[in-house]
Amino acid sequence: MSNPIPSATPPHQDKRPRAPIQATKSPMRRAARRFIRQPAGLVGSALLGLYILAAIFAPLISPKDPLATNPSIALHPLGGGYLLGSDPLGRDVLSRIIYGTRPALTVGISAVLVGLVLGCLSGMLAGYLKGRVGGIIMRFWDGVFAVPAILLGLTLAAAFGSSVAIASIAVGLASAPGLARVAYAAVLAELERGYIEAAHAQGLRPARIFLRHLLPNALSPMVVQLALTFSLAVLLESAFSFLGIGLQPPAPSWGAMLADSRSYLSTGWWYGVFPGLAITGLVLALNFCADAARDALDPRTP
């Protein structure tokens, strides 16, 4: 009599604890992590945060009223209750610099929004539609690009008056052609990739392809250009105030302070130096953020 067939040996069971499965991080989270790890990103974010806090809490941190005049202490040197001295009308320079962050950031943010809506979206549509419609859109922005920003600001100021709103629109329109070109080139590059052809093969509608697939992938170069547009807007706002077509006196503005200080550089150098340093610091912070964002959004960055 043959022996019974032995039962199959149960497979070996590994009772060791398994490591939990980690969720894949989103591209934006990875980009934010790379941004924070870069020294330029940290320094730029810290400086920009200080300017934003100064603009928000200006009434709380300003040592004096920026509009209060006292001719008896005109061009008071540094110290003695005036940390950065006073201007020819006896107004505190530090307080006026702190309040000057408000129009600078207002014009910068407004210009970025105008450039984003007009420049980026129209450039992406021109690249996606191509053909005659895309050519007309880009030729329009080429015509706007031929007009200098200062001349555009002077024209708008002559037609509608000088104000922060007019300066914001002028800076936004001057920045839109560059943003449109970047968006146009980014879309043309993405259209050559395989995932767009796969989306068309699946029968997806053009609007869905544009919003769900093309826009997120073409956003990286535009983010960097928007940061650079912000720094350019700060410089143009100061230039407009310098020429008298931005924020009007006696409201504090860095450009207006630089314009007024030209006649007092030998007797009150602080009146022109410190507003210039404020402009330099904000532009450097924005440029640091733009450089860090470019590296963080680059897929080749580890």
- Is 235 inside any structural domain? yes
* CA torsion, ordered 274, 280, 281, 287, to nearest 10 deg: 170
Residue 110's domain is classified under what CATH number?
Answer: 1.10.3720.10
pLDDT for the residue 22 = 42
Are the beta carbons of 235 and 245 closer than 8 angstroms? no
pLDDT for the residue 291 = 84
pLDDT for the residue 270 = 92
Residue 88: which residues within 8 A CB-CB, separation 6 or more?
74, 75, 260, 264, 268, 271
- Is 88 inside any structural domain? yes
Q: CA 295, CA 302: separation in Å to the nearest integer?
A: 10
Query: How many domains does the chain contain in total?
Result: 1
Residue 185: which residues within 8 A CB-CB, separation 6 or more?
127, 221
pLDDT for the residue 299 = 58
- Is 68 inside any structural domain? no
DSSP string, 165-208: HHHHHHHHHHHHHHHHHHHHHHHHHHHTSHHHHHHHHTT--HHH
- Is 75 inside any structural domain? no
- Is 5 inside any structural domain? no
Q: CA 108, CA 103: separation in Å to the nearest integer?
A: 8
Q: CA 231, CA 163: separation in Å to the nearest integer?
A: 20
Backbone angles phi, psi at 298, to 5 degrees: -75, 120
Q: What's the chain's Rg over C-alpha atoms?
A: 28
Parent domain of 170: 28-62+83-296
Are the beta carbons of 176 and 123 closer than 8 angstroms? no
Q: Which positions of the chain have pLDDT values less than 70?
A: 1-28, 200, 298-302
- Is 70 inside any structural domain? no
pLDDT for the residue 217 = 72
- Is 8 inside any structural domain? no
pLDDT for the residue 228 = 81
Are the beta carbons of 171 and 115 closer than 8 angstroms? no
- Is 1 inside any structural domain? no
pTM of the predicted model, to two decimals? 0.79
